Amino acid sequence: MIIRKQYKFSAGHIVRNCSSDRCKRSLHGHNYIVEVFFTSTGLDNGHMILDFGLTKGTIKDFIDGFDHCWQYWNKDKKVKEFVRKESARWIEIPVSPSAEQYSLLFMFVIDKIIQATEMNNGEKNVQVSSVRVHETDTGYAEAFRDDLDWVKYSLEDIKLSEQVKAEWKDPEMYDKLIAYTNKDTMDKPFVNEIVEQQV
């Protein structure tokens, strides 16, 4: 069984080394739709794979960090210099910001978030099974679990501006995720509330 949660953000980028002149030579933006698909080995105490309410914390905040934000490839020095000077909201990524790379990056980070979350309502091995990123009305890219083998970077390689982090419910969320992933702490940094059983 699979469940799906949808998110939206509007953002700007430039995609270097692609075939389209408009994409590779001009800063531009899109209204993105992100679909995150979850699976598990069974249902929780509420007879769900994962309560949709639990996706409104760290996962929503991370994706929302991309909203009204410039994303740029860390190798693109000219754009990096301009964006960091002119925008309070930016995200530096270790790959070109194509729809394919967004789907893979979100898959990678959300997978780490799920691993770093203490589940407290009988959830059974919840995993993100795929992430689909719609860049336009007619095109999307979708990354699957097997595609995580393509990731050759770490969480530290994704840099977020202080303004992006300041607007989250927990401005230290990403730092906590890095610390847990690097085994600097064994305590899971994200804890879902314990649900009182009513029946």
**Who contacts 66 (Cβ-Cβ below 8 Å, separation ≥6)?**
9, 11, 32, 91
What pLDDT does 133 receive?
98
State how beta strands 117-118 and 90-93 pair.
Answer: unpaired
Q: What is the pLDDT of residues 36-74, one digit of tens each?
A: 999 999 999 999 999 999 999 999 999 999 999 999 999
Q: CA quadruple 76, 81, 86, 87: dihedral positive or negative?
A: positive
What pLDDT does 24 receive?
66
What pLDDT does 117 receive?
97
Q: What is the pLDDT of residues 160-178, one digit of tens each?
A: 999 999 999 999 999 999 9
What pLDDT does 164 receive?
98
- Phi, psi (rounded to 5 degrees) for 24: -90, -15
The predicted model scores a pTM of: 0.94
139 pLDDT more than 90: yes
Q: How far apart are CA 170 and CA 188, in angstroms?
A: 15
Contact, 42 vs 23, CB < 8 A? no
Q: Per the structure block, which two tokens stand in for 52?
A: 């949709």
Residues catalogued as catalytic? 23, 68, 135
